[in-house]
Structure 1
């Protein structure tokens, strides 16, 4: 499987985890590899010496003139580097292929691949699928945009396993021949438009997941979204949909308070909706999607139901932290857009004291007004987008305040909350104005809650 990289000259742009993993993999395959990053070499950590020992050249501190040249055979880019970046533009002008490490790794993976993408719910669904397949003794390996890069596991996973991959639009844009056995699109909402430019470009990046599927492959689609249903018209794969709102002729759906599945003419009642351990309509959709994927991979229905009844969530995704004086604290730091925040806020029946705000990507959050009005009793706003979110609170008739730090936000939220309320960190924004990642933001929130 894969391409012969012997003697090929490859430039890896971006010295993050996936870049280093791709560099190691390509070097093992015989390529002449250069890793380049804007960061100085001193910030690369302990990987520098190990990579240099393998014969990989590392260039830090910027992109020197001539780093992209006609002699290059391939550029492997970090998913987050925009295509407008000078080295990428130069490579494309020279007609040098530009891919992400997903393309390199997937061609070497002997196991069937499950690819999961969507604006929201990717990590929860991917984790659920991994646990369902594990319960069914199908030996999954979970990787991609969660945990390990595909290049880290490419040569280890075996043909009798399943490779379950969470995939972002950034990763998928850099694929050409990538072909999973099962491809799932959970939803599409306006997100990452600062990177993609338009919703159409963002949609098309998600659709790349289905570009190479054949008739013996499976497309798992959210049948409640037209923009997702449209994939059925562009793929040769068999369609196996899921729906929280419709009774389907084939697929996974809700009827009379139960999750049902119809596959190959066989009807199954998997479990009562009330038994799903995850809270919220959005998580019900994640469970339906995971069940559809797991069934397609051959998991036994009772194992799917067992996991759905016991799995209580992923860190930083509506994660219960602690109860203090009758107030429950939840960490939903992964809610980096308005739609994700709406779903989390709406999953609580009691009054919510909301901590929100972060990187200002230009949105004004109008969709949050009715959710604030119905569920939020007080807003504690921080970060670049704080004033915009306070305006949303004003429109909803909700009190609000602005703070300078997450520690202060937790203290102020605790003062505003009363027994029976929920304090929820669900920022509706990316973290990069104040934190290195949403994980760091969530961890700092939990630390602040535990000091109350």
Structure 2
């Protein structure tokens, strides 16, 4: 993709947009930037033409447009996603991870396995650093979390190892249907070429049925059944096999709690990391020492004998159900926020062991309706109110779990901000449970 002297518009000036703009300017493009929020354009270099307003300027005035993943735009061949711009210049071996839930943890696990092997690996994409920002440092490996927003327009990206985790309804407010959302995720397999490897969840109907291109090796992972090529659970151990021959077996009890919650993440990471060149001993060591990521089931404190656990990243019903199943014993569950066009009906079975669900935010009424008959519920206005109410009723030995099943944008800028606020509120409680 020749950029020097071309007129290029960057649409959306978040992290991805700013990384794309820096790459474009370095390549000699005549760069312009658009964002609906004018404050995001402040501080840009003087040679960048700035546009704001309700819609981007007409694309006819530009040779090319680079779209940030968070911006929804109609189909147009002139619009290139930030990940494709990066792919044109990235010299690293790319490992791509997609699915509805578990992407960030699996991405981090794969990178940990590679680093444990002495390889230079960095994470990026939807998790952490935008791919355009990794072009200059050129690590040996880039392990990229890839969202449906990043994949739906991608044409130039090539994951040498691709990972398909699972599919559950999410982001239907943008994609319009589960079929369109699934098709965007499946683009990961379409972007591969002969000689690449596709790692898929054999327990997930969607991942299992995604077709690999001719010449692409398929490796399965499963908690339920042995895999001749891939990773599976057998006799209380995580087993990695090739051509029906076990190469590695790690007792599940040795895996860190973060690596085995859920276990499918560790299975996917083991299969993908080995396919990418990680050593067997390094894979075992990384899975046993992995400390996990914030906001994904992290215990933030204990107050008055009550554990407070932050799973703010559980932004859809399927992820919330997994978080609920991971916590033993009596639970006070905090859920709510902004719905993404999703059905909460599937949460009723997961909530049967919940002593009380404290529901907050815009989705409180809809959640209460869906949970009727499954567990007792109470509604409050905000997250802070939910923490106070939970502290009033939680008993020693119980757990207060934040697993919202919703996006955060009715009250917070991100799930990270929501999780940090939850931790702050919980830590401010006295040992008697009062704020």
State the TM-score, normalized to the length of structure 2.
Answer: 0.95
State the match for 1:166 in structure 2: 145
Partner of 2:433: none
- Give the whole-Å Cα distance in 2 for the aligned partners of 1:189 and 1:195: 15
Question: Cα offset for 1:364?
Answer: 4.0
Root mean square deviation, CA, Å: 1.7
Give the match for residue 363 of structure 1.
Answer: 342
- The answer for the alignment partner of 1:390 in structure 2 is 368
Name the structure 1 match of 2:113.
132
Contact 1:279 1:347 in 2 (8 A): no
Aligned counterparts of 2:185 and 2:377: Cα–Cα separation in 1: 36
Deviation per residue, 1:291-335 (Å, 9 max, x gap): 111111111112111121121310011111011122111100000
Deviation of residue 281 (structure 1)?
Answer: 6.6
Matched residue, 1:33: 31
Paired residues of 2:331 and 2:401 also in contact (CA < 8 A): yes
Deviations 1:173-194 (A, max 9, x none): 1211211111111111111111
1:297 and 1:233 map into 2 onto residues whose CA distance is: 17
Q: Which residue is 1:229 aligned to? A: 208
> 2: CA distance between counterparts of 1:198 and 1:328?
38
**1:412 counterpart residue number:** 389
CA–CA separation in structure 1 for the residues paired with 2:246 and 2:312: 38
Q: Which residue of 2 aligns with 1:121?
A: 102
Deviation at 1:115, TM superposition (A): 0.6
The residue number in structure 1 matching 2:357 is: 379
Alignment match, 1:152: 133
Structure 1 residue 263: deviation in Å?
A: 2.0
Matched residues in 1 for 2:248 and 2:255: separation? 14
Gaps of 5+ in 2: 430-435
Q: CA deviation at 1:265?
A: 5.3
* 1:265-280 to 2 correspondences below 5 Å: 266-278=245-257
- Structure-2 separation of matches of 1:148 and 1:359: 26
Q: Hey, what does 1:72 align to over in structure 2?
A: 62
Contact conserved, 1:211 with 1:235, CA < 8 A, in 2?
no
Q: CA deviation at 1:251?
A: 0.7
Q: CA deviation at 1:63?
A: 3.1
Deviation for aligned residue 1:270: 2.8
C-alpha separation in 2, matches of 1:103 and 1:280: 31
Q: Indicate which of 168, 173, 177 corresponds to 2:156.
A: 177
User: Alignment partner of 1:107: what SS?
Assistant: helix
* Other-structure match for 2:229: 250
Q: In the aligned structure 2, how far is the partner of 1:298 from the partner of 1:234?
A: 21
**Maintained 8 Å contact 1:213/1:236:** no
CA contact (8 A) 2:97 2:163 kept: yes
Deviations 1:243-302 (A, max 9, x none): 111111111000111111112554223311122212697520001111111111111112
Contact 1:136 1:300 in 2 (8 A): yes
Q: Could you tell me how far apart the structure 1 residues matched to 2:214 and 2:25 are? A: 35
User: Which residue of 123, 126, 130 maps to 1:142?
Assistant: 123
TM-fit CA distance, 1:362: 4.0
SS at match of 1:247: coil
Is structure 2 residue 187 aligned with structure 1 residue 208?
Answer: yes
Give the distance between the partners of 2:184 and 2:342, measured in 1 at CA.
Answer: 21
Aligned to 1:340: 319
CA contact (8 A) 1:332 1:344 kept: yes
Deviations 1:151-207 (A, max 9, x none): 11112214xx11111110001112112111111111111111111111111111111
Which of 75, 78, 84 does residue 103 from structure 1 map onto? Answer: 84
Aligned residue in 1 for 2:45: 52
Aligned residue pairs: how many?
Answer: 429
8 Å CA contact retained: 1:244, 1:254: yes
Rounded to whole Å, the distance in 1 between the matches of 2:86 and 2:42 is: 22
> Aligned match of 2:220 in 238, 241, 244?
241
Distance 1:132 1:281, change over 3 A: closer
SS in 2 for 1:157: coil
Residue 310 of structure 1: which of 282, 289, 292 is its match? 289
